[in-house]
Amino acid sequence: MQSTNPTAAILVIGDEILSGRTREGNAHHLAKVLSATGFDLREIRVVADDHAQIVGAVQAFDKALGGAYDLLFTSGGIGPTHDDITADAVAAAHGTTLEINETARAALQARCDRMGTELTPNRLRMARAPVGSTLIDNAVSAAPGFSIGNTHVMAGVPEVFRGMVDWLIPRLPGGRPVQSLTIEVRRGESDVAEDLQAIAGEFPDLSLGSYPFNDDQGWGTNLVVRGLDADRVATAMDAVKQRLKL
């Protein structure tokens, strides 16, 4: 699919993802949001809670650091415990240091006051942000994320992550949302492969895909046409229907 939209990558951070203990859903959620708001997601990577791995991935992805993509979104590793090292690694990747952000400190203190708890040193870790960064609001639990360069660092807790995404994405300059049409056919993927390839050749500016499924009625295939122009997508889907005599 041809596009001039901003490109993006997602970096998921956490041993619990790689071990299988936690099912990853944040990247799936963000991928849908990016597609709907005009960002072209090009890559998703999962790394361990390892300083060197995180630094390397951030530098490889963040265009401001000579990386591959216009925007990088991270999930995980900004909590209060010893293995929450994302902020440290992102700061290192950007050649800066961490500081206690006073706005973040005030937000955490206000939440602790409301809950009748103490702002302990561990909780205060969540007020750390790289020098030169800006905060990403967290309406769920107060501890913010942050943005530096093209890197946008968000929490791993799904509810908090989604709240941060809702706050952040409207503040970023996007492009044209992806338009998509789908048709279900009761044929195997191999039975439609040749026809789909021929239509893809007629519409090189679009993305055509086939996705097999199996339900209580047997095998079938979802045929999907994606692009940035709704009329063009509709024309290609009409061509699919005509060629397959649907």
Question: 3-state secondary structure string, the chain?
Answer: CCCCCCEEEEEEECHHHHCCCCCCCHHHHHHHHHHHHCCEEEEEEEECCCHHHHHHHHHHHEHHHCCCECEEEEECCCCCCCCCCHHHHHHHHCCCCEEECHHHHHHHHHHHHHHCCCCCHHHHHHHEEECCCEEECCCCCCCCEEEECCEEEECCCHHHHHHHHHHHHHHCCCCCCCEEEEEEECCCHHHHHHHHHHHHHHCCCCEEEEEEEEECCEEEEEEEEEECCHHHHHHHHHHHHHHCCC
Does 26 fall in a domain?
yes
Same domain, 164 and 209: no
- Domain of residue 238 covers 179-243
Same domain, 40 and 103: yes
Same domain, 186 and 120: no
Residue keyed to tokens 């990403």 = 136
Does 1 fall in a domain?
no
Same domain, 210 and 160: no
Q: For residues 33 and 39, what is the distance between their CA atoms, to the nearest angstrom?
A: 9
Q: Which of 171, 201, 221 is the last residue of a domain?
A: 171
Same domain, 71 and 184: no
Same domain, 141 and 209: no
Q: Which of 171, 203, 235 is the last residue of a domain?
A: 171
Same domain, 43 and 150: yes
Q: Which of 127, 148, 171 is the last residue of a domain?
A: 171
Does 27 fall in a domain?
yes
Does 2 fall in a domain?
no
Q: For residues 3 and 227, what is the distance between their CA atoms, to the nearest angstrom?
A: 8
- Residue 13 sits in a domain whose CATH number is 3.40.980.10
Does 16 fall in a domain?
yes
What is the token pair recorded at 236?
A: 């290609």
Q: For residues 76 and 98, what is the distance between their CA atoms, to the nearest angstrom?
A: 17
pLDDT tens, the chain, 246 aa long? 788 999 999 999 999 999 999 999 999 999 999 999 999 999 999 999 999 999 999 999 999 999 999 999 999 999 999 999 999 999 999 999 999 999 999 999 999 999 999 999 999 999 999 999 999 999 999 999 999 999 999 999 999 999 999 999 999 999 999 999 999 999 999 999 999 999 999 999 999 999 999 999 899 999 999 999 999 999 999 999 999 998
pLDDT at 175: 95
Same domain, 199 and 95: no
Q: At what angle do helices 230-243 and 189-202 cross, to 10 degrees?
A: 130
Same domain, 31 and 12: yes
Does 72 fall in a domain?
yes
Does 115 fall in a domain?
yes
- Residue 225 sits in a domain whose CATH number is 3.30.70.600
pLDDT at 177: 95
Same domain, 61 and 86: yes
Q: Residue 156: beta bridge partners?
A: none
pLDDT at 3: 87
Same domain, 48 and 158: yes
Same domain, 122 and 234: no
Does 239 fall in a domain?
yes
Number of structural domains the chain divides into: 2
